[in-house]
């Protein structure tokens, strides 16, 4: 990650190798989440026992989580802009804020999951439980990876090892982060808003 400048050779398409690989990875991830979301939709309303989605989903609570994650994307944009212009003081602040908002989102997911379990919905209760926990859990795992990644960059920045020369690394982290955010918007719409 630290030798971004070394990899910015001339390339046939004029696009950085790592960035292109990442776009391909995101394409692949679309199929992954596409399959998970399709399964959720196919199995919607087929649970033979409760609790059912309308009895348990807490839209106001999750709306706050969603807003939090959207704001983290804004922090990410600011972080990249700061690193690109060499303003590492604000770069560090925005990187940390992005990770922090990610952590808040994950905390919200922990609270939500525990509440569901308390109300009798576990991963093995019914089809809604299976599809809901696996879909949102996979997304949560992606957010976790993103938070680890952001904190790593933040530590590198604190050590003075992250500068404008590594802007591409931050940009790719941002690609990932925004993608995970966009996936959440789809999940929020499909699972929570359209019941």
Partner 1 sequence: MSDARGLASWLTTTDHKRIGLLYFWTALAFFLIGGIEALFIRAQLAQPNGRLVSAETYNQLFTMHGTTMIFLALMPLGASFFNYMVPLQIGARDVAFPRLNAFSYWVFLFGGLFLNASWFVGPLFHAGILNVAPNGGWFGYANLTERQYSPGPNIDFWVLGLQILGISSLAAGFNFIVTILNMRAPGMKMMRLPVFTWMTLVTQFLIITAFPVITVGLAFLIFDRFFGTHFYVREAGATPILWQHLFWLFGHPEVYILILPAMGVVSDVLPTFSRKPLFGYPVVVYSGVLIGLMSWGVWSHHMFAVGLGPIADSVFAATTMLIAVPTGVKIFNWIATLWGGDIRGTTALHFAVGFIAMFIIGGLSGVTHASPPTDLQQTDSYYVVAHIHYVFFGGTIFGLFAGIYYWWPKMTGRLLDETLGKTHFWLQFIGMNLAFFPMHLIGLLGMPRRVYTYAPELGVGSLNLVSTLGAFLIALSILIFLVNLWRTRTRGRPAPNDPWGGATLEWSIPSPPPVYNFSVIPTITSRLPRWTTERHGPMRDPPATPPEPIHVPGGSWWPLIAAFGLPVLALAPLTHTLWVAFAGAALLLLGVYRWAFEPFEV
Q: Give the residue among 147, 153, 155, 43 at the shortest CA–CA distance from 102.
A: 147
Which residue stretch of 13-21, 61-69, 74-82, 86-94 sits at the interface with partner 1 (rule: CB under 8 A)?
Answer: 13-21
Least distance (Å) between residue 124 CB and partner 1: 4
CB nearer to partner 1: pick between 3 and 85: 3
For partner 1, the binding residue among 77, 127, 165, 175 (CB under 8 A) is 127
Least distance (Å) between residue 16 CB and partner 1: 9
CB nearer to partner 1: pick between 11 and 55: 11
> 109 phi and psi, to 5 degrees?
-65, -40
Q: Give the residue among 5, 1, 38, 2 at the shortest CA–CA distance from 22.
A: 1
Which residue stretch of 32-40, 63-71, 96-104, 180-188 sits at the interface with partner 1 (rule: CB under 8 A)?
Answer: 32-40
CB nearer to partner 1: pick between 6 and 194: 6
Could you give the dihedral angle defined by the CA atoms of residues 113, 69, 92 and 85, in that order, rounded to the nearest 10 degrees?
A: 160
36 binds partner 1 (CB under 8 A): yes
28 binds partner 1 (CB under 8 A): yes
Q: 80: part of which helix (H) or strand (E)?
A: helix 59-84
27 binds partner 1 (CB under 8 A): yes
CB burial readout 140-157, b (16+ within 10 A) else e? bebbeebbebbbebbebb
DSSP string, 112-151: HHHHHHHTT--TTTSHHHHHHHHHHHHHHHHHHHHHHHHH
Least distance (Å) between residue 71 CB and partner 1: 28
Which residue has 């093995």 as its token pair? 124
134 binds partner 1 (CB under 8 A): yes
Which residue has 């989102």 as its token pair? 105
Write out the residues near partner 1 by the rule CB under 8 A: 1-3, 6-7, 9, 11-13, 15, 17, 20-21, 24-25, 27-29, 31-32, 35-36, 39, 42-43, 46-48, 123-124, 126-127, 129-131, 134, 152
């Amino acid at each position: 990650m630290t030798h971004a400048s070394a990899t910015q050779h001339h390339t046939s398409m004029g696009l950085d190798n790592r960035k292109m690989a990442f776009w391909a990875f995101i394409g692949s991830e679309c199929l992954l989440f596409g399959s998970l979301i399709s399964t959720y939709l196919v199995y919607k309303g087929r649970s033979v026992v409760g609790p059912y989605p309308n009895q348990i989903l807490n839209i106001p609570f999750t709306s706050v989580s969603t807003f939090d994650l959207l704001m983290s994307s804004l922090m990410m944009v600011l972080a990249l802009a700061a690193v690109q212009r060499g303003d590492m003081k604000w770069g560090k602040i925005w990187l940390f804020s992005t990770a922090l908002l990610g952590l808040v989102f994950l905390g919200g997911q922990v609270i939500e999951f525990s509440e569901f379990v308390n109300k009798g919905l576990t991963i093995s209760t019914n089809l809604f439980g299976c599809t809901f926990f696996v879909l949102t859990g996979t997304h949560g795992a992606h957010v976790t990876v993103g938070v680890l990644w952001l904190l790593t960059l933040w530590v590198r920045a604190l050590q003075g090892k992250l500068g404008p020369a590594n802007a591409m690394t931050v940009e790719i982290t941002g690609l990932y982060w925004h993608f995970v955010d966009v996936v959440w918007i789809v999940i929020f719409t499909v699972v929570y808003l359209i019941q």
